[in-house]
Amino acid sequence: MYKHLLILAVLCVFGYNIKAQNCPSVETTATEIRNHLDYLASDQLLGRNTPSPGLDTAAEYIIARFKELGIKPAGNSYRHTIGLQRQHLGSGNSMTLTISGKTTDIPLKSGFIPFLFSADTTVESAIVFAGYGITDTAWGYDDYRGLDVKGRIVVVLSDGPKGKGIIPAERLNSEESKVQNAILHGAAGFVMVNGPARRLILKPRGYPWPSLSKIMPDDLMPVNIADPEKKHIPAVHAGEQVIEAIWGSVEGLKSIQAKLDDGASPVSVPITESSMSINTSVKTEYLSADNVAAILEGSDPVLKDELLVIGAHYDHVGAGRDKGDGSDFIFNGADDNASGTSGVLAIAGLFAQQKVAPKRSVMFILFAGEERGLLGSQAYVRNPVVPIEKTVAMINLDMISRNGDSLFLEGSAACPELTEIVRSKNEKTGLNLILDKNELTGGSDHASFSARGVPFLFFISGLHKDYHKVSDNPDKSDALKAARTAHLGFLTAWQIANEDQHYTLNK
Ligand SMILES: [Zn+2]
């Protein structure tokens, strides 16, 4: 007995032999994961929305675990603050249009609606019609060719040209990039109307502001990474009233759109004897949330400058309204992603228990804001602790506690050498590895790294009926499954962190 234990201890100390998984047992890791998961997915944390006090409490818990393990902060602090912002529609939004001496007040909501990305300011100027508002140099298409829009308000059509010189749908600009294109050309204001040739509904869309539509509760307004560099101008979506005031009728604009689609002649023109005044009141609320990151410095004098990132998002989507009738209103996010968070903590624990540090440095990072669009991982890759070129691989754990033995390695075809490591380590772990699926590839934090050229592994046990529902509760999570995944993740990570190979990322 004693001798046997000694052998295991020796294996545990000296390297990444497959036997390292016996130290400690998966059952021990499962107990640890159960504790983390039950706490992180408890009602007390109210679904860990970004940002929220519950998320902050979860961050405290994670930091306490890193301290217990003796793993140091990555950078000056375990907390890496992400500057966030959220927009609200202010009061006093207005729009006035004068054509050949005739002035029309366009009402908010039925006549025009500011876009989410509009500036908070007033503009008054003559107007210029700029076609679809698209500049696609590579395609040889430019609605702004020969047009001077400096200081002017541009009016553009939704969508893109059809017919001659058609631009494929995937090259079409988003509404926001049409605004950015207008800004690049010096425009001071932006008005979009639906192109009546292909759109039956001409009502203003803009954004479903809670105060205008009641569709969206105020606290569910999207949160974005604050970008002080980004330029804004008043930007609105306008309806039929504006079309009629400028072109006399919807039919008038339809015939212009037909010419535009024909590609026969440029139809972008200044609108004569026109002026427009737009005041958009869009208030920015500044917020913040934290990624939590710890680093284990490598032991090899050269390889320690290289980094393996092991991450998971610790946020979820928060809570709905308490109806007071005892019905569940908390999105606990046990599988999504208290499980992956617990898995990363377990892997950190397995690393910390090795007597020798790995050759490469290893960072354990828990991201905020994944559910709001990979905000935490995007903020990290913009401002990494170790230069991104030195990051040899990223392992992402997102939803690892469901669906029996099945473990998907999503997008694995992109990273063949890394996949091969997992496949060989799994010979002992015995999970049902499902390789080369690509259905869920873009949907989690590894995507922020792969976009910067970092090879990745994405462990996910697959979707289920409780996905993004209040029923994603801790009792439905299989802690043993998560522990087996964590052990497989550890064995894989231990090898990556101890070799000097660089891995391929096929795009
Ligand atoms: Zn999710």
Q: pLDDT 10s digit of each residue in the chain, 507 long?
A: 323 333 334 344 344 443 454 468 999 999 999 999 999 999 999 999 999 999 999 999 999 999 999 999 999 999 999 999 999 999 999 999 999 999 999 999 999 999 999 999 999 999 999 999 999 888 788 899 989 999 999 999 998 888 655 666 666 768 999 999 999 999 999 999 999 998 999 999 999 999 897 766 766 788 999 888 899 999 999 999 999 999 999 999 999 998 888 875 557 787 888 999 999 999 999 999 999 999 999 999 999 999 999 999 999 999 988 888 999 999 999 999 999 999 999 999 999 999 899 999 999 999 999 999 999 999 999 999 999 999 999 999 999 999 999 999 998 989 999 999 999 999 989 999 999 777 766 689 999 999 999 999 999 999 999 999 999 999 999 999 999 999 999 999 999 999 999 999 997
Ligand 1 centroid to Cα of residue 336, in Å, is: 5
Model pTM? 0.83
Ligand 1 centroid to Cα of residue 333, in Å, is: 8
Ligand 1 centroid to Cα of residue 443, in Å, is: 9
Ligand 1 centroid to Cα of residue 434, in Å, is: 20
Residues written for the chain: 507
Ligand 1 centroid to Cα of residue 485, in Å, is: 18
Query: Are domains 2-83+287-498 and 91-280 of this chain identical in fold?
Result: no
User: With 0-12 CB in 10 A as exposed, 13-18 as middle and 19+ as buried, what is 258?
Assistant: middle
CATH 3.40.630.10 fits 2-83+287-498, yes or no: yes
Ligand 1 centroid to Cα of residue 53, in Å, is: 19
Token pair belonging to 246: 């400028």
Ligand 1 centroid to Cα of residue 316, in Å, is: 6
CA 299 to chain centre: 34
Q: Which residues contact 49 (CB under 8 A, 6 or more apart)?
A: 55, 315, 316, 317, 318, 319, 371
Residue with tokens 């995507």: 447
Would you list the domain boundaries of the chain? 2-83+287-498, 91-280
* CATH entry, 91-280, from 3.40.190.10, 3.50.30.30, 3.30.1330.90, 3.40.640.10: 3.50.30.30
Q: Which residues contact 391 (CB under 8 A, 6 or more apart)?
A: 306, 307, 308, 309, 384, 449, 454
Ligand 1 centroid to Cα of residue 47, in Å, is: 11
Dihedral sign of CA atoms 436, 441, 445, 446 in order: positive
Ligand 1 centroid to Cα of residue 68, in Å, is: 28
Ligand 1 centroid to Cα of residue 55, in Å, is: 15
Token pair belonging to 336: 């999504």
Ligand 1 centroid to Cα of residue 95, in Å, is: 40
Q: Is 59 helix (H, G, I), strand (E, B) or coil?
A: helix
CB 292 within 8 A of CB 78: yes
Ligand 1 centroid to Cα of residue 445, in Å, is: 11
